[in-house]
Amino acid sequence: MQRPEFALAIHGGAGTLTRSTMTAGQETEYRAALHQAMVAGQACLAAGQGALDAVCAAVAMMEDSPLFNAGRGAVFTHEGRNEMDAAVMVGAGRDAGAVCQLTGIRNPVLAARAVMEKSNHVLLAGDGARAFAESVGLETAPAEYFHTDARYRQLLAVRDSSAAVLDHDGAHKLAFADKKFGTVGAVALDRNGKLAAATSTGGLTNKRWGRVGDSPVIGAGTWADPQVAISATGTGEVFLRACAAHEITARMRYLHEDAATAAAAVMAELGQMGGQGGLIVVDAEGRISLPFNTEGMYRGQLVAGGEIEVAIYRD
């Protein structure tokens, strides 16, 4: 198969997503938001920009939407704050940047990119991450910007429990009945054959003690190298223990599996470990794989010359 001029895939979280749990209006909203994110990434790639530009544009679009657990739609910690994590990685040179426990920055994915491009570090946390983001001129936003009523009701529903819950889990009756593992991400191959990945999340509702999941951890929730780019969404602690994203490239390198086979094997292993969620994968030939072991995953994909495809349900 001839390599396409470019390729792009996104995810907006995975979980108990069925037609019976969403109204027609809610489904329309999510499909429109996914399509807008795809258009943002596609525009970069079609204009000849790099894969990093495309994945950041797509993820930033989802961060700006209150529908997804990232940026504006980030869930609340036990203390009632919005602490966000994000990472980017480019395949050429394996350059990477990440932030965690970030507050007050409108687009965490751009903060992660700035760490990669404008610092000597890979991962910055908390107040330091915010101070760095402000020092390079990234847009800030007040706490009110990140406060969405649906997310705050989620917190109130579980705040008195000891559990930290995945996105809508424990609060689904307040909105609609989905248990969703909320993260957003994008992977892309550009015209020059370069790959990049980006991931962003608000983490767990009611999380405490500075909990950080897999999304900003290079090799766990985000990875790119010359052969493949990966972004994950799901049970963060399990994805961390499995080094899920890197495990895919390791299988490709040492077992000579193709990306789709390797991703499917890793999803099976995650399931055996008690993990739920999904992965988006694109390889150096522009082949896209979107495996998940939940009932649905918000997702989109495109190869140059084709139409944007967005989907929610397994069927």
pLDDT at residue 171, as a whole number: 37
Top-confidence residue, 158 or 285 = 285
pLDDT in tens, 256-265: 999 999 999 9
Q: Which residues contact 37 (CB under 8 A, 6 or more apart)?
A: 10, 12, 58, 59, 61, 62, 184, 186, 300
Is the pLDDT reported for residue 57 higher than 80? yes
The rounded mean pLDDT for the chain is: 92
pLDDT at residue 113, as a whole number: 98
Distance in angstroms (rounded) separating the CA atoms of residues 61 and 45: 15
pLDDT in tens, 17-56: 888 888 999 999 999 999 999 999 999 999 999 999 999 9
Q: Taking the mean position of all CA atoms in its chain, how far away is CA 183? A: 4
CB 246 within 8 A of CB 253: no
If you average pLDDT over residues 116-141, what whole number do you get?
98
Is the pLDDT reported for residue 178 higher than 70? no
State the burial class of residue 136 (Cβ atoms within 10 Å of its Cβ: 0-12, 13-18, 19+).
middle
Q: List domains and CATH numbers for the chain.
A: 7-94+148-313 (3.60.20.30)
Distance in angstroms (rounded) separating the CA atoms of residues 172 and 194: 40
Is the pLDDT reported for residue 173 higher than 80? no
Is the pLDDT reported for residue 177 higher than 50? no
Binding-site members for substrate are 211-214, 233-236
284-308 burial code (b ≥16 CB/10 A, e <16): bebbbbbbbbbbbbbbbbbbbeeeb
Binding-site members are 211-214, 233-236
If you average pLDDT over residues 261-284, what whole number do you get?
97
pTM: 0.93
User: pLDDT tier at 170 (50, 70, 90 boundaries)?
Assistant: very low
pLDDT at residue 22, as a whole number: 86
pLDDT in tens, 72-96: 999 999 999 999 999 999 999 999 9
If you average pLDDT over residues 247-275, what whole number do you get?
97
If you average pLDDT over residues 102-129, what whole number do you get?
98
pLDDT at residue 159, as a whole number: 82
Q: What is the β-pairing status of strands 296-303 and 165-166?
A: unpaired
Please list the active-site residues: 183
User: pLDDT tier at 235 (50, 70, 90 boundaries)?
Assistant: very high
User: pLDDT tier at 163 (50, 70, 90 boundaries)?
Assistant: low
pLDDT at residue 181, as a whole number: 66
pLDDT in tens, 180-200: 567 999 999 999 999 999 999
